[in-house]
Chains A and B, each alone.
Chain A
Amino acid sequence: MADHEKLVVMVTHGPEDPELATIPFAMAGAAVASDVDVVMGFQGEGCELVKKGVAETIHADEFAPLGELLETIKEMGGQLLVCSPCIKKRHLTEDDLVDGAEIVAAGRFVAEVTDATNSLVY
């Protein structure tokens, strides 16, 4: 079984590119469905995707809706980590983010990546 494996998925595209915003969620969704632990990391424009109310507005052709993927990933135990300086730059606080999103800095991302079986960067 693969329940000891862990995948880190870094997201750097936001609503400006619905397809590249959605692909990391599709990969993370497939991973949680496959009993792989998932950590999603949001940096740069990717942070926009975990602002409350944004994910529900994105639906790339031929992919499941991003809002549905986000809910699935949260429900199946995926973690959502958001880059602290990126959030500050956008004048956001934790209250602006979806429930469960955690604001972290570079050290935590490094710790997650070095602990993971593999990492994907989008």
Chain B
Amino acid sequence: MSQTEIETAVVLDARGLLCPMPIVKTAKAMKELEPGQVLKVTATDRGSLADIPAWAKSTGNELLEQHEEGDTFVFFLRKGEEVQ
């Protein structure tokens, strides 16, 4: 699935944040979404590459896509149906 096909409800700019704040901000942003809605996260902390997928798995959210744009890591996360 390409980026342009993903309808995004909210964009979180986590660039410049250091470990573990990208997933903290991601968790907070996701709480505001309804199940099925998509959050786009941009981050520059290299730890995010491993952290965001692990966070999604452990919290029941779905990582739809991830890619790099220059120095920025981009993630698309769909809120799980049973996530509060």
Interface residues of A (CB under 8 A from B): 1-3, 26-27, 29-30, 32-35, 62-64, 68-69, 72, 76
Which residues of chain A come closer than 8 Å to B11, judged between CB atoms? Answer: none
Which residues of chain B come closer than 8 Å to A27, judged between CB atoms? Answer: 20
Interface residues of B (CB under 8 A from A): 17-21, 23-24, 26-28, 51, 55, 58-60, 82-84
A29 and B59 in contact (CB under 8 A), knowing A1-B83, A34-B27? no
Q: How close is A19's CB to chain B, nearest CB, in angstroms?
A: 12
Residue pair A29, B24 in contact (C-beta under 8 Å)? yes
Which residues of chain A come closer than 8 Å to B83, judged between CB atoms? Answer: 1
Residue pair B18, A30 in contact (C-beta under 8 Å)? no
Which residues of chain A come closer than 8 Å to B20, judged between CB atoms? Answer: 26-27, 29-30, 33, 64, 69
A4 CA to B58 CA, complexed, in Å: 12
Residue pair A33, B27 in contact (C-beta under 8 Å)? yes
Residue pair B82, A64 in contact (C-beta under 8 Å)? no
A2 CA to B54 CA, complexed, in Å: 12
Residue pair B23, A2 in contact (C-beta under 8 Å)? no
Which residues of chain A come closer than 8 Å to B26, judged between CB atoms? Answer: 33
Residue pair B59, A1 in contact (C-beta under 8 Å)? yes
Interface hub of B17, B19, B20, B21 (most chain A Cβ within 10 A): B20
Q: Which of the residues B19, B27, B51, B60 comes within 8 Å of A63, measured between beta carbons? A: B19
Residue pair A29, B21 in contact (C-beta under 8 Å)? yes
Interface hub of A29, A30, A32, A69 (most chain B Cβ within 10 A): A30
Residue pair A63, B18 in contact (C-beta under 8 Å)? yes
Which residues of chain A come closer than 8 Å to B27, judged between CB atoms? Answer: 32-35, 76
